[in-house]
Chains A and B, each alone.
Chain A
């Protein structure tokens, strides 16, 4: 009997017994749903973490020289924390030393930040990230301007009280008025707005547009980077290879500068997007390793359910098997009929699973800031797995059916 004939026969059986078929394929359905949903979310997170998170927070091909790690995805013990706090901070001297001696071509941005309140007349914007840095910062973080200009190296050198503000802050303080040239105050100190940054959107549901950037030597530095120290020195190179070279150079320069003996630990930290992603990578690895186990369990359960349903079907349709045999069905015709029926059942289940899995992934994307990207390979894997489970689960019942004695089978009720 040709295969498509058998598949058509199987589909007809499934359609005539909708409810029973649904219950029998629910195990496979759940397994494949899991597979698709988890892979989609992990995949989406990967893209998100790499494109958005790491590059927004740290910058492409950029690393930072800091006192201690800034972005932690792992657990930090108290001892570690205390050791970090004992380290000397990154001074203007440290930054100059590295910037002057680094051989790899790179762009530098001295940087410090804190949360401050900014006022315009009677309006107040609290909890605004105020950053003191250099013009190069806008390039490193890829921040564009919607209007106005960024400050110049001159203004940095003399510490002019000028400010580039984020889109959301502009909206909040000026409510549609042109912010350019307006005077705002930070801790009582007057600043002039010279630029508004282009909108950057959100990250994990948090706005990236609630910020203000000033020259790092500007008057408010006493609040955000007091006593000639910096939070970090940001260093951007042309590509990921030169970045690694520059990181190595920076490490030895800093060890020299701080007179560390061989064997002594670094009392500073170099952080790249790659480093920040390490934590996420380990989480996604756990998810991806645990996934086959979850999927395997539901597929085994699904397979057993299908096997049972098929055994019942063979028992119920003993008479039919007898008739078919009397009319000339060979063993392998009967075997094929039931294996195909079982495989079709499981494949239909897997197909529904793909649907619900994609649905679930999009639901997660809709309801949470987590992204989801459906991986085409996971659909193929899901359907093939379902089909395989169906074939395996069908073999035993089908072989029982094929070995029935036609005389006995014809006498069955």
Chain B
């Protein structure tokens, strides 16, 4: 029980679209252990984006409960959720979502700024994180001076800089060619072997292959939950 980083029970999320109500999640229950590497799949409309927003504490459910690292986050206020996102979650997005006018180093520092870490300490940790993803020599570059793969590495460094309990990636290779995708997934594999809990949301089976466990959603419910034998941890 204490080993579960994520525990969701009967999670319901309903969207009010004016006249009709859309049920995106219809009671989802599952748990993810520390140091698990999980892929979440499903066709469009399956509720995987909704689930990922809830997992990332960007949204709150209409029903059910969500424990992240032992804290009930499903009933938290906006500011409390911001704090949880800052401390517990590292996001990696499909479109990288780096600040275009800021250098790689400054982008990676950003979560630490909101955590109130002093400037010197911040710079040190951001450098470390960038070195960890192999970008020690690109710290002063702005996103438009970096390749897609390098941008995603900056984003990964930014996600890791706060030592989050969960690395949450949403289609991390959606904007990358296959060679670069492989590189990025290799980075994920390395992080996983270092003990990082990772959840990747994707619709590409080739990406899901890298994970040790694949969860498939359909119509807002859990469809299948299988161990991936190929991925040797």
Binary contact track A336-362/B, C-beta < 8 Å → 1, others 0: 000000000000000000000000000
**Residue B110 at the chain A interface, CB threshold 8 Å:** yes
Determine whether B186 belongs to the interface, using a CB cutoff of 8 Å to chain A: no
Question: With A406-B58, A407-B53, A407-B59 given, is the CB distance from A324 to B97 under 8 Å?
Answer: no
Contacts A5-B113, A410-B93 known; A330 to B56 CB distance under 8 Å? Answer: no
A406 CA to B162 CA, complexed, in Å: 20
Of A320, A324, A328, which contacts B83 at CB under 8 A? A328
* A407 contacts B58, C-beta separation under 8 Å: yes
Q: Are A319 and B59 in contact (CB under 8 A)?
A: no
Interface of B is mostly: helix
Interface string of A352-395 (1 = CB under 8 A from B): 00000000000000000000000000000000000000000000
> Is the beta-carbon distance between B85 and A324 smaller than 8 angstroms?
no
**What residues of B have a CB within 8 angstroms of the CB of A327 in the complex?**
85-86, 91, 110-111, 114, 158
- Report the Cα distance A53→B99, complex, angstroms: 63
Chain A: which residue is nearest B91 at the CB level?
A326
Chain A residues positioned under 8 Å from B87 (CB to CB): 328
Whether A331 sits at the interface, judged by CB under 8 Å, is yes
Whether the pair A331, B85 counts as a contact (CB closer than 8 A) is no
CB B17 to nearest CB in A, in angstroms, measures 14
Kindly list chain B residues whose C-beta atoms are within 8 Å of the C-beta of A172. none
Closest Cβ–Cβ distance, residue B112 to chain A (whole Å) = 9
The answer to the question of A291 belonging to the interface, with a C-beta cut-off of 8 Å to chain B, is no
Given that A328-B114, A407-B53 are contacting pairs, would A16 and B101 also be in contact in the complex, using a CB cutoff of 8 Å? yes
Chain A residues touching B, majority SS: helix
1-57 of chain A: CB within 8 A of chain B:
1, 5, 12-13, 16
The docked-state distance in angstroms from the alpha carbon of A333 to that of B115 is: 11
Check if B79 is an interface residue, CB within 8 A of chain A. Answer: yes
Contact between B85 and A328 (Cβ–Cβ < 8 Å)? yes
User: Which residues of the other chain, A, contact B93 by a CB distance below 8 angstroms?
Assistant: 410
> Is B231 part of the contact surface with A, judged by Cβ < 8 Å?
no
Within 8 Å of chain B (Cβ to Cβ): is A300? no
Q: Does any Cβ of A come within 8 Å of B121's Cβ?
A: no
A332 CA / B83 CA spacing, docked (Å)? 12
Q: Note all chain A residues with C-beta closer than 8 A to B145.
A: none
Q: Is the CB of A330 within 8 A of B79?
A: yes
- Does B78 lie at the interface of the complex (its beta carbon under 8 Å from any beta carbon of A)? yes
CA distance A53 to B87 in the complex (A): 72
Q: Which positions in B face A, CB cutoff 8 Å?
A: 53, 56, 58-59, 78-79, 82-83, 85-87, 91, 93, 97-99, 101, 110-111, 113-116, 119, 158, 162
Q: Which residues of A contact B (CB under 8 A)?
A: 1, 5, 12-13, 16, 319-320, 322-333, 406-407, 410
User: Can you report 27 A-B residue pairs in the complex whose CB atoms are below 8 A from each other?
Assistant: A1-B113, A1-B114, A320-B99, A322-B97, A323-B99, A325-B58, A325-B85, A326-B85, A326-B97, A327-B86, A327-B91, A327-B114, A327-B158, A328-B82, A328-B83, A328-B87, A328-B114, A328-B162, A330-B78, A330-B82, A330-B114, A331-B78, A331-B82, A407-B58, A407-B59, A410-B58, A410-B93
